[in-house]
Amino acid sequence: MHHRVSPTETIRGEIDAVFAQGRPLADCLEDVARLGARLIIQSALEAEVDEFLGRARYRRADATLAEQDDEDQAVAEEAAQAVRPGHRNGHREVTVKTTSGPMKIKKPKLRGTTEKFASRLFGATVTRTHALESLVIASFVRGLSTRDVTNTLAEALGSDAALSKSTVSSICQNIRGEYDSWRQRDLSGITLDYLFIDASHFRMHPNAPAEPVLAAWGIDTDGKPVFIGLEAAGSESHDAWADFLQGLLDRGLTPPLLVISDGGAGLISACEAVLGRSLRQRCLIHKCRNVTSKVSRHDLAEVKKQFWEIFDTADLGLPPGQRLVEAVQSRIDTFAAKWEKSYPSAVKSLLTDRSSLTSYLRFPVLHHKRIRHSNFIERTFGETRRRVKVIGRFPGETSCVSLAFAVLDRAATGWRGFTMTPPALRHLEGMRRDLFHPAPADVIHLAPHDHKPVTEAA
């Protein structure tokens, strides 16, 4: 007799098949995440149908009632009320729209029922869900530090929604192993033009404030994005950032031409100490937030508009370099003069570390809009925070860093690189010579952090 395989069993088989292929973990994660989402959604629908009909799959109504103890009349009557007429009649493929894209699942078809079945999770027609997606995320997060994925799903949806222990164990162990290997790998073969560094805070320990996870990635000399480093820290102090950056250099990383970051004092001092020859760019989006946070709502739109006009250089017609830097610095002075009386604290914020606001103007014009801010790293950290939000805090540091690595490493495969034209390559190579291989003592070169022409004494 032909045995029909349920949709949930089919999906479980697909998950096991992914791990059996021997592919690298980074290639498997996206497939497993999507299959896990399908499994939970499919299991939830099946469970709702079981509840609606009052019996499980392949169970007949009369058989269900016959199993009740005849001596327990109350139980028998309750069972009779719970069992509805009707039966399953296959499945219909439908599409669930999730934040990670459309997903195909099989909605059970019912025949002979006196009432129309409507899913409480999805409505009469399955079109969109966020609740189930949150369960997937919560399960994934808990699974990185414990073997509680099955418990998470069982608590919410019943035992039918649980992933197998072997699948959970494979995910946990592989992610940790991949991260341990990745964080110790040799970086001597990587030369960066641009390095983005930032931190995101997560709750890792009971009754403790959120703690930072430090991250770094950049663009290499071929214009390709590279995920470089990830590490938990107790704070964003100078020592924490200096140890993090020095660790990258100790593993062979060549110092970048430009470091893009926010304005944290510990981060800035660590960059100047460890990456002293690299130029530093202050994230303009962070600086704009700092400035506008000190402006009244009445003038907010105008101040924000004029802030970004400072750095709109299309009308200047100047090539990248010192003249362009001076032109924009002059605009900063004009902005400060206009708003100083009304908003002295906002102007003070703008003028603080002002030289680092225009470092990007020394680089190829086609790169300007992407190297003047750190949103390149912020957006991807946002994905990690979104996954964590549903549970509040991690069970520990290992779980936190493992999830951040899993999300960022997977996201790295989709990062957009930089266009490297022959003129841009020549420009960047010239800057590398000026910064790291200084010309003779009587030749003008760029000082790393004051970004002004300096003539060395003979």
Calpha distance 247→232 (Å, rounded): 13
Q: How far is CA 302 from CA 307, 322, 339, 358, 451, in A?
A: 9, 29, 11, 22, 29
**Model confidence band, residue 394 (pLDDT cutoffs 50, 70, 90):** low
Q: What confidence score (pLDDT) does residue 45 get?
A: 76
What is the percent of the chain with per-residue pLDDT over 90, rounded to a whole number? Answer: 38
Question: What ranges do the domains of the chain cover?
Answer: 7-178, 189-422
Answer whether residue 257 shows pLDDT above 90. Answer: yes
Q: What is the mean pLDDT of residues 47-63?
A: 64
Q: How far is CA 361 from CA 196, 309, 335, 355, in A?
A: 16, 15, 18, 11
- φ, ψ for residue 319 (rounded to 5)? -75, 160
**Model confidence band, residue 107 (pLDDT cutoffs 50, 70, 90):** confident
Q: What is the mean pLDDT of residues 412-426?
A: 86
Q: Which tens digits make up the pLDDT trace of 13-50?
A: 887 787 777 676 556 666 766 676 677 677 777 777 77
Q: 391 or 226: whose pLDDT is higher?
A: 226
If you count them, how many residues does the chain have?
458
Tokens of 331: 């605009």
Q: Which tens digits make up the pLDDT trace of 323-356?
A: 999 999 999 999 999 999 999 999 999 999 899 9
Which of 85-99, 161-175, 274-288 is predicted least confidently? 161-175
Calpha distance 340→97 (Å, rounded): 50
Calpha distance 202→183 (Å, rounded): 20
What is the percent of the chain with per-residue pLDDT over 70, rounded to a whole number? Answer: 64
Q: Which amino acid, 206?
A: P
Average pLDDT of the chain is 76
Answer whether residue 312 shows pLDDT above 60. Answer: yes
**Model confidence band, residue 440 (pLDDT cutoffs 50, 70, 90):** low
Pairing verdict, β 225-232 and 258-261: unpaired
Calpha distance 43→107 (Å, rounded): 10
Answer whether residue 70 shows pLDDT above 60. Answer: no
Cα–Cα nearest to 322, from 270, 362, 367: 362
Which of 94-108, 127-141, 417-431 is predicted least confidently? 127-141
CB 259 within 8 A of CB 280: yes
Q: What confidence score (pLDDT) does residue 55 get?
A: 63
Q: What is the mean pLDDT of residues 68-76?
A: 46
**Model confidence band, residue 101 (pLDDT cutoffs 50, 70, 90):** low
